[in-house]
Amino acid sequence: MNREVIPLSQLLANDGYKKYFGKRLSDHLFTTFDPERVKAIIDQFSSNIEAEIPKHIDRWKGTSSDYGNPIPSVTFWKSEIQNIKTFADARPAALLNDLKNYGFQIPNPLSITISPANSGTISFNGIKINQTLSQGKYPENEEIKLVAEAKAGFDFKGWQKLENKIIIGKEDNWKYDDKGNDLLKSWIAEDFDDSQWSEGQAELGYGDRDENTIVSYGSNSGNKYITTYFRKSFIVENTVGIQSLKINLKYDDGAVVYINGTEAIRRNLPNTEITFDTKAISSVSGSGETVFSTFIIDKGLLKTGQNKIAVEIHQNDPGSSDMSFDLEMTSSVKNEGELFSTNQTLNFIHTGKKI
């Protein structure tokens, strides 16, 4: 926040308004500007105009203006959309961290789930939440008021705590193939034999000097391998009771994630068939190289017992200086204990525990 902005700088001199402003900003960062909600809106609007973009590129080709040059290509347009999504991922954390300069405490994780899905809505400090899962961070020791409203055909039962379980941790070990080979699609299968692949601890990559495992990009630094492949086995003791599944993904530049052979995430890559030489739409740089992007995953992709996850990381350019990969998977699991409140209105002080 810029202290010199008028009249905001003068308003923030008032302690009461400063408190109100910071808390209301935190409310909207958790709800209105939830990255998953914002990215869905971006996808909706970009889909609405995508068919018209080539026509406008042709129409304005070769022109110029005081407020900027026209879009040169569809690829450039898609890269700009990706940059907006990267900004949407990183912005809430940056603003919440900045609030510490205005008397607020550190932001702690917060997750709110509506179960079953689409059975109702929740008002979060007066702002309605419609999505099944809302998660992010909120300043510690601030009051939150939740009001539940059941949809027609459903009854509100009460509030219950969820337990957060780490299925795959950050900086975990992964199998990887950094040979630059075309593996087709066989490598994503559950029964694929990766016994001859290398193994190392995440973060895996090269060029940023923060890697735990440095992978190869080939013999030519000016013509690096476009794609590097990663696989991992993990155990889920019981899928019953899992309310939500989340992946936090660090990737540079593009990524596709498969769970038990099914695509679960595609980021910064074309919506076409992905091959070993498919380039990422745009280059990830700055804060985008260090932030973990959060994705809500279909919990139905998991099964009780052994599971397989496979990830391919794609470069935007063979001359790129760096590549990064790390991943965390967590689940929210319903406790079988009693409801701690059956009142539709719930007031509490946020301490980082899940509701």
* Region of poorest pLDDT, from 96-100, 232-236, 323-327, 349-353: 349-353
pLDDT at 61: 92
Q: How far is CA 242 from CA 15, 120, 235, in A?
A: 43, 19, 14
Please give the average per-residue pLDDT across 109-125, as a whole number.
90
pLDDT at 5: 56
Whether 133 and 113 have beta carbons less than 8 Å apart is answered as yes
* Domains of the chain as residue ranges with CATH: 8-161 (no CATH), 166-334 (2.60.120.260)
**Over 80: is that where the pLDDT of 7 sits?**
no
The pLDDT mean for the chain works out to: 91
pLDDT at 26: 97
Q: Is 243 exposed, middle or buried (0-12, 13-18, 19+ CB in 10 A)?
A: buried
Sign of torsion over alpha carbons 44, 94, 123, 133 = positive
pLDDT at 352: 67
Q: Is the pLDDT higher at 118 or at 193?
A: 193
Please give the average per-residue pLDDT across 314-341, as a whole number.
89
For 147-187, write each residue's pLDDT tens digit. Answer: 999 999 999 999 988 888 999 999 999 999 999 999 999 99
**Over 80: is that where the pLDDT of 229 sits?**
yes
**Over 70: is that where the pLDDT of 1 sits?**
no
pLDDT at 355: 54
Q: Of the segments 105-114, 164-173, 280-289, which one has the largest average pLDDT value?
A: 164-173
Q: How far is CA 76 from CA 71, 81, 83, in A?
A: 7, 9, 11
